[in-house]
Amino acid sequence: MPTEIERKFLVKNDDWRSLGKGVFYCQGYLVSSPNKTVRVRIAGKQAYLTIKGATTGIARAEYEYAIPVDQAQELLQTLCAPPLIEKMRYRVEWGGLVWEIDEFDGENQGLIVAEVELADENQAIALPEWIGTEVSHDPRYYNANLSKHPYSQWAK
Amino acid sequence: MPTEIERKFLVKNDDWRSLGKGVFYCQGYLVSSPNKTVRVRIAGKQAYLTIKGATTGIARAEYEYAIPVDQAQELLQTLCAPPLIEKMRYRVEWGGLVWEIDEFDGENQGLIVAEVELADENQAIALPEWIGTEVSHDPRYYNANLSKHPYSQWAK
């Protein structure tokens, strides 16, 4: 079973910006429940259909398939519940790991989170100084939930 | 947009059996609502992920992607709502068209339906003498519904 183990953090300053290049992502969900999500994503010039199971700790079954971009566009417009998630994703190599920093736009504008994928749940990692609070276990930050309850609507 | 136009009928005798060879299908649904289905199907040695939109008349948007059989098996066992649909599908050429005859097993045992795919909604077709009542517009016969309300549980 392909599994994804990730930790997710808020970002506390802009010092990461010089370290990576951004790619535009647009994604939506055909299903989004606590036990199962089916995501349609356009990432730059590629598109993917991704199925994820329930999260166990910080691990999650993940199945990803490349699909034609024009079909992804149709699926996003006709079958995914609005609002769609729009974000720039920056890939930053730091301390031997790859960090993915998502700067959201649209209804989630103002939110920036950083994710790192790990080999196992207990892997020790060094945190860059631009990393803030960990939000791995806060479901509000799941992209599927940001689509239902966008950041712009959170009580702050 | 890839579109599927199909008519579906009950089968009234066994005269079709000598005309085609059967392949075993097992399928389940990651989502199944009136407006959207996401189906996982193993058909013989192939597997597919198929997304369908709402039906308009007898036409329906359909997006299909080949996936690895072992992953399809995992998706069916872990993320699709039981019961799974099990059937033998027979492909029969008749009158210049290809008929697909589904003989259901498991919780839908006893049900046999024949489907034909058309080029447009108004295409005239000749019906083989083993074809019975048309059920194109009866939602009980949608495979997604046969998974929720199997034939063995219908009031007869």
**What band does B146 get if pLDDT is binned at 50, 70 and 90?**
very high
HSE-up of A46 (CA within 13 Å, CB side)? 8
Note the pLDDT tens digit of each residue in A44-70: 999 999 999 987 666 678 999 999 999
**pLDDT above 90: residue B120:** no
What pLDDT was estimated at residue B87?
Answer: 98
Q: Do A61 and B78 touch (CB under 8 A)?
A: yes
What pLDDT was estimated at residue A24?
Answer: 97
User: pTM for this structure?
Assistant: 0.85
Note the pLDDT tens digit of each residue in B30-50: 999 888 999 999 999 999 999
Using a CB-CB cut-off of 8 Å, the residues of chain A touching B67 are: 63, 65
What pLDDT was estimated at residue B52?
Answer: 93
**What band does A5 get if pLDDT is binned at 50, 70 and 90?**
confident
The shortest CB-CB distance from A71 to any of B63, B74, B79 is to B63
Q: Which domain holds residue B42?
A: 3-153
What pLDDT was estimated at residue B3?
Answer: 73
Q: How far apart are CA A108 and CA A121, in angstroms?
A: 28
Whether the Cβ atoms of residue B20 and residue B91 lie closer than 8 Å to each other:
yes
Provide the shortest C-alpha distance from residue A144 to chain B (in Å). Answer: 15
CATH number at residue B66: 2.40.320.10
Using a CB-CB cut-off of 8 Å, the residues of chain A touching B78 are: 53, 61
User: A2: nearest CA in chain B?
Assistant: B71
Query: What CA–CA distances, in Å, run from B47 to A37, B5, B66, B147?
Result: 20, 22, 6, 18
Here the ipTM equals 0.81
Residue B106 backbone class (left: φ over 0; alpha: ψ -120 to 50; beta: rest): left
What pLDDT was estimated at residue B58?
Answer: 63
Q: How many CB pairs under 8 A join A and B?
A: 49
What pLDDT was estimated at residue A2?
Answer: 67
What pLDDT was estimated at residue A66?
Answer: 98
Count of domains observed in chain A: 1
What pLDDT was estimated at residue B76?
Answer: 97
For chain A, how long is the longest CA-to-CA vector? 42
Using a CB-CB cut-off of 8 Å, the residues of chain A touching B75 are: 51, 63
Contacts of B96 by beta carbon, 8 Å cutoff, 6+ apart = none
Q: What does R_g of chain B's alpha carbons equal in angstroms? A: 15
Note the pLDDT tens digit of each residue in A78-125: 999 999 999 999 999 998 999 999 999 999 999 999 999 998 888 889
- Give chain B's count of helices (H) and strands (E): 2, 9
Bridge partners, residue B37, by sequence: B32, B52
Report chain B's mean pLDDT, rounded to a whole number: 92
What pLDDT was estimated at residue A34?
Answer: 84
Note the pLDDT tens digit of each residue in B45-73: 999 999 999 876 666 789 999 999 999 99
What pLDDT was estimated at residue B61?
Answer: 84
Whether the Cβ atoms of residue B49 and residue B31 lie closer than 8 Å to each other:
no
Using a CB-CB cut-off of 8 Å, the residues of chain B touching A49 are: 49, 51, 65
Q: Do B65 and A51 touch (CB under 8 A)?
A: no
The shortest CB-CB distance from A65 to any of B61, B67, B74 is to B67
Q: Do B30 and A51 touch (CB under 8 A)?
A: yes
Provide the token pair at B56: 């308009």
Provide the token pair at A45: 């010039």
**pLDDT above 70: residue A143:** yes
The residue whose two tokens read 């369908």 is: B52
